Amino acid sequence: MHMRRGGVLLLGMLCGMAAAADPVCLASAKEAGTRETRCDDAGGSAIQKDTMCSKNQESPCMKRIAPGVWKIRCGEPETATPLEYREFKPLDGALHELGDTIEPPFSIEEVLYRSTARGCVIELPLGRDEDLYGFGLQLKSFRQTGKKKTLRVNSDPVADTGDSHAPTPFYVSTKGYGVYVDTARYVTFYAGSHPLASGIAAELAAGKTFAPDASASTLYQSDADQRRNRDMMIEVPVAKGVDVYVFAGPTLKAAVQRYNLFSGGGCFPPLWGLGVWYRGEGKFSDKEALRLAGELRREHIPCDVFGLEPGWHTHSYPCTYLWNSEHFPTPDAFIADMKTLGYKLNLWEHVFVHPDAPFYEEIKPLSGDYPGMLGLVPDLTIKKAASLFADYHETALIDKGISGFKLDECDNSDFIGSPWSFPEHTIFPSGLDGEQMHSLLGTLYTRTMYRPFVQNNKRTYGQVRAAHALAAPFPFVLYSDLYDHRDFIRGVVNCGFSGLLWSPEVRSCDSSEDLVRRVQSVVFSPQALINAWFIPNTPWFQVNREKNIAGEAMPDRETATMLCRRYFEWRMRLLPYLYAAFARYRFEGLPPFRALVMDYPDDPEVRNIDDAYLMGDALLVAPMTAGQTQREVYLPAGVWYDFWTRQPIAGGQRHLIAAPLDTIPIFVREGSIVPLAEPVEWVGEDTVFQLEVLTFGAACTPFTLYEDDGVSFDFEQGHMNRITLTYDKDAGPAAVKTGGFLSSRYDVRSWKHI
Ligand code: GAL
């Protein structure tokens, strides 16, 4: 425990000893506008059941609000926070299952809070051996220990500062807990990056002297020793208070689960959403879209969802949400033709409303005082604004057969000149300012657009370019125009810490090698998305943009097509396995894609691994990028199997894995059961998957297949089955079905023991 946890006394000592030199002392902070903290509901420092208040009046109270979840109210929080707009209740039953008698990871005595002229500051303890992860979709870094991160929604981050499409004020620790700061402000986390003045005072008081020869290299290193007496400092700008939520584990993984369950559980995409996605060129007409959709079928490229990009609107920047009659003269016929070919249709849009939009006049008074792309920015926190937006989509598009949407460019930018997005000082009718709206816009949109699907008992899966906190229940996947393959892989690794899903989408590529490597990565990700919005032909026809537009096939087109098809088929083989992983996300909050540190937090070897991840419980995926023919893969302790050769490999060590272009390194944890389906080209309402079940090792952990109609919410009324697959070498294989869904989606044809 840190010396600073003596709290005010130590702070006082420091002020007495070093006030002139140290501007951080309590006295000087008070002069700068600090005021007393008040305790939460319990009042004063009274101790109530489930509520712990510090005897130190400077500190707030900690109140248990759900199994393994505590709330610390500091000062007077703002009202416009992510929690205020949470759509779903916490899943208390599942939280209870994770353990109810658990203690908070730190005591209220260890929490310091103060209000300042800049906003407010919270300090939380951080142990010397702890490592921290999270803060949303951080594409540039993984292990956050020792870093300073300012969480700002931004589509064009230039450095590892915290800017992101989806920054989330939530972090988790290898010590087995998580912390969520309920704010829509651009909050800064000093994750053990700065020493505490009080900690230095304690060291001096204990007779420790500073090394006289502290060199630059010592200063710049951020190892555990450098982190002594450094805690988590969180500065929330503007706000004069904030609610902090603490999630117990006992493991890092359980803390993430609790955060997701507190958000309302993970999203549960329709079965078809987990298939392959293809987005056509931006200005495609109905004929061009149908040509390409037909070509995919002729080439037997599996594909479930076809996406239309901006050109379907009469005007796209800002949006009219009206079919462009020149390119889509008969939208109903087009939708029917695509349906006949087995496709679901997804439409691109943004949230900035053009004067021609049918709901423009009505939504105008419910919008911000600055435009976005010269369109209105509706205040989707206001019920009427959200209804106007959603109701129009429901009657004009969803009822006609559109299966989902992609919300683009809701993520602000520093570089694209005004009026690309609205400024931070924008005022919205609900009282939100532009900073808060930038943080919340992506999630408010997903909340708004999810409602009509829920009301119509249809599940959806879509894309969104920004998200923030408590977003796990919304079935939307993040994507980006940034295109660094290595960063995109890190996105898959990181997204699971924060209740987010991310697609390392494929566009045009530098070479067919780059294409195949990217296709391999996207196939083993939350959404297998080909986003060919600036090429009229497939990237496996031609990777080069100019030549693709000119209709010139690349010489190795056949090989590239064969390899891409093979990997899309692998996606379809793994669909029942993935669907089961998403069911666990929905009901248990367990992310389907996870960094290794989530499952092996005590293994120091995995704490920096940001280029390999777990997909479900069984598979460790280690993607490759163009130029690599081999790579190092660390396998945690235990026995693993090469997914392709099925040969056992010893864990607890690093291996140099050679992987020619047709192979992405994948390993199976011993004791796993992996159902593999005969690949279908798309998922129909009556598709029954023919399964071969692979078992790895002599005794396996049971695997639960999830069976329902795959498209509706009827599972919530019990219309679903769980099929438990078991195997051990003495008892042999078994499949036991329980539940109230009367049809079958799976036919277990064979078992293979490895
Ligand atoms: C970008 C978006 C792309 C594509 C394009 C269409 O902003 O990230 O995925 O939709 O717009 O113009």
- Interval 551-579: pLDDT, tens: 999 999 999 999 999 999 999 999 999 99
- Please state, in angstroms and as integers, the Cα–Cα distance from residue 303 to each residue in 118, 276, 344, 501, 615, following that order: 51, 5, 9, 20, 21
Query: If you average pLDDT over residues 578-595, what whole number do you get?
Result: 98
Please name the residue that has the structure tokens 């009901």: 587
Pocket test for ligand 1, best of 156, 309, 415 (most atoms within 8 A of CB): 309
Query: If you average pLDDT over residues 241-266, what whole number do you get?
Result: 98
- Which protein residue has the closest C-alpha to ligand 1 atom 5? 533
Q: How far does the centroid of ligand 1 lie from the alpha carbon of residue 533, in Å?
A: 7
- Please state, in angstroms and as integers, the Cα–Cα distance from residue 91 to each residue in 67, 98, 134, 153, following that order: 10, 11, 22, 28
348 lines ligand 1 (CB under 6 A): yes
User: With 80 as the cut, is the pLDDT of residue 218 above it?
Assistant: no
Burial class (CB in 10 A: 0-12, 13-18, 19+), 159: exposed
Query: If you average pLDDT over residues 520-528, what whole number do you get?
Result: 98
531 lines ligand 1 (CB under 6 A): yes
pLDDT band at 219 (very low <50, low <70, confident <90, very high): low
User: With 60 as the cut, is the pLDDT of residue 403 above it?
Assistant: yes
Pocket test for ligand 1, best of 313, 408, 480 (most atoms within 8 A of CB): 408
CB neighbour list of residue 152: distance below 8 Å, 6 or more residues apart: 161, 162, 163, 164, 167, 186, 438
- Judge contact between 114 and 37, C-beta under 8 A: yes
- In this predicted model, what pLDDT tens digit does every residue of 223-235 receive, in sequence order? 444 545 679 999 9
- In this predicted model, what pLDDT tens digit does every residue of 73-97 receive, in sequence order? 999 999 999 999 999 999 999 999 9
Q: Is 582 left (phi over 0), alpha (psi -120 to 50) or beta?
A: alpha
User: With 90 as the cut, is the pLDDT of residue 508 above it?
Assistant: no
Measured distance CA(589)–CA(124) in Å, rounded: 25
641 by DSSP, 3-state: which? strand
- In this predicted model, what pLDDT tens digit does every residue of 343-384 receive, in sequence order? 999 999 999 999 999 999 999 999 999 999 999 999 999 999
Q: How far does the centroid of ligand 1 lie from the alpha carbon of residue 324, in Å?
A: 18
pLDDT band at 22 (very low <50, low <70, confident <90, very high): very low
Ligand 1: nearest atom to the Cα of 406: 10
DSSP one-letter code for 581: H
pLDDT at 13: 28
413 lines ligand 1 (CB under 6 A): no
Amino acid symbol at 311: G
411 lines ligand 1 (CB under 6 A): no
- In this predicted model, what pLDDT tens digit does every residue of 381-391 receive, in sequence order? 999 999 999 99
Mean pLDDT of the chain: 90
462 lines ligand 1 (CB under 6 A): no
- Which protein residue has the closest C-alpha to ligand 1 atom 10? 309
Q: How far does the centroid of ligand 1 lie from the alpha carbon of residue 663, in Å?
A: 30
Q: How far does the centroid of ligand 1 lie from the alpha carbon of residue 348, in Å?
A: 8
415 by DSSP, 3-state: which? coil
Ligand 1: nearest atom to the Cα of 348: 10
Task: Give the up-direction half-sphere exposure of residue 2: CA atoms within 13 A in the CB hemisphere.
Answer: 31
- In this predicted model, what pLDDT tens digit does every residue of 23-41 receive, in sequence order? 222 223 333 333 333 334 3
Q: How far does the centroid of ligand 1 lie from the alpha carbon of residue 426, in Å?
A: 25
Number of other CB atoms surrounding residue 657 within 10 Å: 17
- In this predicted model, what pLDDT tens digit does every residue of 404-449 receive, in sequence order? 999 999 999 888 776 789 999 999 999 999 999 999 999 999 999 9
Whether this model's pTM surpasses 0.85 = yes
Query: If you average pLDDT over residues 56-63, what whole number do you get?
Result: 73
pLDDT at 35: 33
Rg (CA), the chain: 26
Assigned token pair, 252: 């890092």
- Which protein residue has the closest C-alpha to ligand 1 atom 8? 481
Measured distance CA(544)–CA(104) in Å, rounded: 55
Number of other CB atoms surrounding residue 28 within 10 Å: 14
Q: Is 136 left (phi over 0), alpha (psi -120 to 50) or beta?
A: left
In 3D space, the residue among 477, 482, 454, 455 whose CA is nearest the CA of residue 467 turns out to be 477
Ligand 1: nearest atom to the Cα of 531: 9
